Amino acid sequence: MVTLNVNGRDQRIDADGTTPLLYVLRDDLGLNGAKFGCGLGQCGACTVLVDGRPVFSCITPLAALQGRRVTTLEGLGTLEKPGLLQRAFIDEQAAQCGFCIPGMIMRAQALLQANASPSDREIREHMQTWPNPRLIGNSALAA
């Protein structure tokens, strides 16, 4: 049994310690923002924040998360009331097919929490898991 805090609420999870956080979020908690992309920690579609820093939830086992703080896309805002960064992605039309956007938003969110006005270069370095940092950089800057 592992207790972790997800989007401000404590959750007790009864699953094998090797279970990826991504499966816990999607299958046990019904939080479907984070997506399964490659399953190898390469593409970033599964990115969420753990203690404020971006991690690939597809390769982060539950056993590492006792007492830790997880933030998912759902923790940033709602459909009716999107968070600042979500609003910026909408305004800048930064969504492409949309599948990996939750991961991009969460990675950008981590940067902005640590650095409210990053330079273009800082944005590019931080977002480099993805092929089009310029586009994301613009929307992150807009936020």
Residue ranges binding another protein (CB under 8 A): 17-20, 39-42, 50-51, 53-56, 59-64, 66, 68
In the complex, minimum distance from the CB of residue 67 to another protein, in angstroms, rounded to a whole number: 9
Q: Considering beta carbons, is residue 7 or 60 the nearer one to another protein?
A: 60
Beta carbons within 10 angstroms of residue 41's beta carbon: 16
β-sheet bridge partners, residue 56: 47
Radius of gyration of the chain (CA): 15
Please give the sequence-ordered ranges of beta strands (E in DSSP) within the chain, or none if there are none: 2-6, 9-13, 47-50, 53-56, 69-71
In the complex, minimum distance from the CB of residue 18 to another protein, in angstroms, rounded to a whole number: 4
In the complex, minimum distance from the CB of residue 25 to another protein, in angstroms, rounded to a whole number: 14
Asked if residues 36 and 59 have their Cβ atoms less than 8 Å apart, the reply is no
CA distances to 19, 28, 81 from 22, in Å: 8, 10, 24
In the complex, minimum distance from the CB of residue 104 to another protein, in angstroms, rounded to a whole number: 16
